[in-house]
Amino acid sequence: MDRKELLGTLKRIVIKVGTSTLTKEDGNLNIDKINKLVREISLLSNNGYEVVLVTSGAVGAGMGRLKMSERPKTLTEKQAVAAVGQVALTHLYQNLFSEYNKIIAQFLLTKADFSDRNRYLNARNVSLNLLKKGIIPVVNENDAVVADEIKVGDNDTLSALVAGLIDADLLIILSDIEGLYNKNPQKYDDAKLIKLVGKIDEDVKKMAGMEGSKFGTGGMYTKIIAAEMATKIGTNLVIASGSEPENINKIVNYELVGTLFVKSNKRIKSKKYWLAYGTNKNGNIYIDSGAEKAIISGNSLLPVGVKKIEGKFEKGTVVQILNSKGNVIAKGISNYSSDEINIIRGYKSDEIENVLGYKYDDNVIHIDNLTIL
């Protein structure tokens, strides 16, 4: 099967560019490279594609602007450098895209924007509205204010979240490497580029052991995780070299560039994708083997299968579900608070009202609000 058959009709595309693609060795922005990137994206947009750009480079740009040779080590310093770099990066994008008569919109996001369902839906609606108008959203994590508890972590993951947010057909991740190799090409001359990955398993993840570049945060492993995320929501993903921005249109035109990760045939629903990847951890529910089998078989979580609770949370909170071995197997929206579950755990559903004095639902977590990881 060739690329065209695998990718199908393409309409909505997310393009993620890493710091290594946008900056020179000293951290300064590579204006010539960015101009080529903007030209390729503008060409796609002019040809009727809806395009979102997920860009790294704020910290790298700030480092160059401030003439720093090493990446900032403290959170406060990183935030300050990002605040400087974000202005330079956005101003440059605006000027360059305007030369191709394209309008951009800036989106600065954190994990909190994905975790909160209302903010998530608002970001989705705004993004789709911008795309409908032919405007190119330029997305980056809000590094100037982000802290660990609201941090997505890296822009590879962010791009996969954005792909799910807008139901993208294709996610292109441009990096400082041509794609996934069977071994590290920086160490082994006989390393071979893998053109196609149909399933992401542990062997694929083991191939991705290379570290990131000097100014970036994401290595190949984060890209594999992004691919795992994107393919579950029904988005094909290609990792390719950003040294040649022309690769963007080559990929869209079905040329054999980079590594293609094929979307899953069993696409999970948007809400379940949000549950799996967009939400923060707010509590843990440990279950027995019987409840684990029931969930894997597509059933809801009943109170009788709950063994213990960790953390304090309210009704309507997204929580993790762990099996008897302590492995996270699912996430879901709880129908009861942690205090209530502690009271009803181990009881049958028809006993909840007698034990608790009232009953919201027969299930601790309904299958419609639960996703297996």
Task: Give the residue ranges of the annotated binding site.
Answer: 16, 56, 143, 155, 175-176, 217-223
| CA dist 206 → 194, 261, 277 (Å) | 14, 16, 22
C-alpha torsion sign, points 138, 7, 157, 248: negative
Question: CA Rg, the chain, in Å?
Answer: 22
Contact 332, 370 (CB under 8 A): yes
Q: Are 111 and 158 in contact (CB under 8 A)?
A: no
- Contact (Cβ atoms closer than 8 angstroms) between residue 329 and residue 292: yes
Q: What is the largest CA-CA distance in the chain?
A: 71
Residue 266: how many CB atoms within 10 A of its CB? Answer: 7
- 16 strand-pairing partners: 54, 173
Angle (deg, nearest 10), helices 155-166 and 117-132: 70
| Helices and strands, counts by H and E, the chain | 15, 13
Query: How far apart, in whole angstroms, are the C-alpha atoms of residue 283 and residue 290?
Result: 21
Q: How far is CA 69 from CA 131, 154, 283, 313, in A?
A: 38, 21, 41, 44
Per the annotation, where are the binding residues for ATP?
A: 16, 175-176, 217-223
Residue type, 53: L
Residues contributing to the annotated binding site for substrate: 56, 143, 155
Number of C-beta neighbours around residue 312 at 10 A: 11
Residue 289 is classified by DSSP as H
